[in-house]
Structure 1
Amino acid sequence: MSSQLTFTALIALLICSSFAQSNNPGHSLEALTSYNQWRNNNPRVYLNDAEKQYRQTVFLENFQKIKEHNANLVSTYQQGFNQFSDMTKEEFVEKILMSNYQTKSSKPLSSSSTQNSSSNDLGLTGTSSTIASSIDWRTKGAVSPVKNQGNCGSCWAFSSTGAMESFNYIKNHVLSSFSEQQLVDCVVTTNGYYSYGCNGGSYYQALLYASRVGMESESSYPYTAVRGNCKVTSTTNGYKPVSFVQIGQNTQALKTALNASPVSVSMDATNLYLYTSGVYNNCDPQNLNLNHAVLAVGYDSQGNWIVKNSWGASWGQQGFFLLAPNNTCGILDQPLQITA
């Protein structure tokens, strides 16, 4: 059997399976109505009718998953429709999350740079007893607008620029927008960094690069969601972080750090794509995969982490989400903060 026939047969099987699983009049009408409304808000261009039918099938399967999840009274968060609703979880992981994030990516290829500081310039020891009961840097004007990484695994770049934008505001009282595309194009192995553009990367490496070269503005180096050639040759560009540290891997340390400024963190976002509201906690602590970089911008009075994402302002809670306390989804495993 040819690969084309195999693909067509698979699509047909999925379509039949989807309607067989949800073939009651009320549900079918509701599902198809939701699909048509979603299509109006999320225009798509398909290669052919087979792909169009397949995407509709995936949406209907996600529709059923969302209904079942939201009907579960034990769930602490709600799911809904967004730009990922016609993707399978496997496609989402492959296209949006980082496929090349490794422990070694937090270390430089060369030990010649001393820009990263092993000292704790802000005294972030994780033992302070004067931390606030809650903090949200959005209310202080220190968080830049939510951006959208598109179909590119460049979340590490957005986490990095978010941290630099917030720290720059706290220190210099200017809320600038820095270029993620500069990091995607320039923080690469050929320039001596462990990062891979749209295939994943490291916010440590991004900050290391920024401390040496400086950051262009978003407007001067706009985002394309595709890795290109590095357009920066000067080392006297704009904002440069002076030092940054990996803080303690515990709740107290992250809360203490967040009292000073937002913090770049990594997490397992495998099941996050359909989130719309509530406190997210859908990770297996015994099988974590740190495949997404985000920016912690605070915590609420219940200890839930307030997190800025990079999937656009229409996703989640205006682009943000709440993550359950402590080390949910690995958020405490690799926190990194600018300190000067």
Structure 2
Amino acid sequence: MKTIAILSLIASVGLLYVAFAPQETSFDREFKTFIATYGKNYGSTEEMSFRRLVFNANMQKAVELGKLNPLAKFGVTLFADQTEEEMAARMGAVDPGRSRANIEFHTDTSKTLDFLDWSGAMQPVQDQGSCGSCWAFSATAAFEGRHHIHMDDETEKYSEQEALDCSSSMYGCNGGWYEAVWDMVSKDEFCSLSSYKYTARKGSCQKTTCDKKALDTGYKFISKDEASMHDALKSGPISIAVDASTWSTYQGGILTRESCGTGMNHAVVIVAYNDEDNTWKVRNSWSPSWGEEGHIRLRYGENTCNLLYKPAYPTFD
């Protein structure tokens, strides 16, 4: 059955590839280099053929994205052989569509756009794997950064797995939302990662046996304008939800609205604003080998990739 499913996918992707680049041969050479670089070991000739076609189609899309946006570079990444469906599984931002009515909004706006960078307050970029747990990684990273800044403590790595397992209103690897994590750890302390390891799959909640470390006092939303977001960034990193549909082949540079979607499917963290190139520096959870050491730059002032969807941050006052 698996072989039949793969062959049917080969047929559909193959049609797409033929439509895009019927005579292309340079992509095949890049595919061989990709296999060697990332240590790919496909289990069958059918799988190899399928991944080759997916790779070629993705590289053609990267070419088209580069034409739309010459400020960014698109090409071979660790996700170059992944289908759109497989990438969508990593984009697990699911807005529950309900929030507590008493949540405050950050409405102050920056008068000047000064350089801001909280990268030094953050733990290393993580890898969520194929689990749609971006929401847990976004919530945890924003918590870590702001707790370190506001509580003036040693940097601590908290447990995305706890967020995944114990946020009972969320859907585990099928998606969730950062608010649920901050709600949870306002009532019961966040566990350390060392005591509650990440497995990239949802399990039963084990927080009664882990090393509990820290609470928040809730969270705030941010008004849907980028000047307010810049003002909010003065006090620490910000969780955002974006449309990451075009990110799989991102290698570096500045993403503009021309090369971005306008939906919402992925949760990440703003950690900096650079006044020299007028960009947000955004931390992802697809490993440090993706993008610019695990980060991506989004053009400020354009609602690039729909970054204004619902920005928020945990509080510690």
1:237-287 CA-to-partner distances (Å, cap 9, x unmatched) read 2111123111211111100000111111111111111111111125689x7
Work out the CA distance in 2 between the residues paired with 1:6 and 1:181.
Answer: 32
Give the match for residue 137 of structure 1.
Answer: 118
Are 1:305 and 2:280 counterparts? yes
Unaligned runs of 5+ in 1: 112-116
Work out the CA distance in 2 between the residues paired with 1:181 and 1:6.
Answer: 32
SS of residue matched to 1:213: coil
SS of residue matched to 1:307: strand
Report deviation, 1:288. Answer: 3.0
TM-score (norm 2): 0.88
Report deviation, 1:133. Answer: 1.6
Work out the CA distance in 2 between the residues paired with 1:58 and 1:52.
Answer: 10
Shifted more, 313-322 versus 58-67: the winner is: 58-67
- How do 1:98-113 and structure 2 match up within 5 A? 98=92, 101-104=94-97, 106-107=98-99
Give the match for residue 161 of structure 1.
Answer: 140
Are 1:197 and 2:190 counterparts? no
TM-score (norm 1): 0.82
Work out the CA distance in 2 between the residues paired with 1:32 and 1:177.
Answer: 41
1:134-170 CA-to-partner distances (Å, cap 9, x unmatched) read 21112xx212110011101100000111011101221
Counterpart AA for 2:126: K
Counterpart AA for 1:92: M
Work out the CA distance in 2 between the residues paired with 1:155 and 1:291.
Answer: 10
SS of residue matched to 2:185: helix
Give the match for residue 295 of structure 1.
Answer: 269
Report deviation, 1:334. Answer: 0.6
Structure 2 counterpart of 1:333, from 284, 297, 309:
309
Counterpart AA for 2:218: S
Work out the CA distance in 2 between the residues paired with 1:3 and 1:204.
Answer: 38
1:213 touches 1:236 (CA, 8 Å); kept in 2? no
Work out the CA distance in 1 between the residues paired with 2:244 and 2:69.
Answer: 20
Work out the CA distance in 2 between the residues paired with 1:10 and 1:243.
Answer: 45
SS of residue matched to 2:184: helix
1:246 touches 1:335 (CA, 8 Å); kept in 2? yes
Counterpart AA for 1:291: N
1:272 touches 1:282 (CA, 8 Å); kept in 2? no
* Structure whose alpha-carbon radius of gyration is higher: 1
Give the match for residue 244 of structure 2.
Answer: 269
Q: Hey, which of these two has a bigger chunk of strand by percent? A: 2
SS of residue matched to 1:238: strand
Work out the CA distance in 2 between the residues paired with 1:338 and 1:21.
Answer: 45
Counterpart AA for 2:115: S
Work out the CA distance in 1 between the residues paired with 2:21 and 2:36.
Answer: 23
Give the match for residue 114 of structure 1.
Answer: none
SS of residue matched to 1:233: helix
Runs ≥4 in structure 1, deviation > 6 angstroms? none
Work out the CA distance in 2 between the residues paired with 1:235 and 1:10.
Answer: 43
Fraction of identical pairs, as percent: 31
SS of residue matched to 1:32: helix
CA gap of 1:56–1:128, structure 2 versus 1, over 3 A, is closer
2:195 touches 2:210 (CA, 8 Å); kept in 1? no
SS of residue matched to 1:270: coil
Counterpart AA for 1:290: M
Report deviation, 1:32. Answer: 2.2
Report deviation, 1:185. Answer: 0.7
Counterpart AA for 1:62: N
Report deviation, 1:49. Answer: 2.1
Q: Number of residues paired by the alignment?
A: 313
CA gap of 1:295–1:5, structure 2 versus 1, over 3 A, is closer
Counterpart AA for 2:204: N
Report deviation, 1:107. Answer: 2.3
Give the match for residue 181 of structure 1.
Answer: 161
Work out the CA distance in 2 between the residues paired with 1:249 and 1:16.
Answer: 41
Are 1:254 and 2:236 counterparts? no
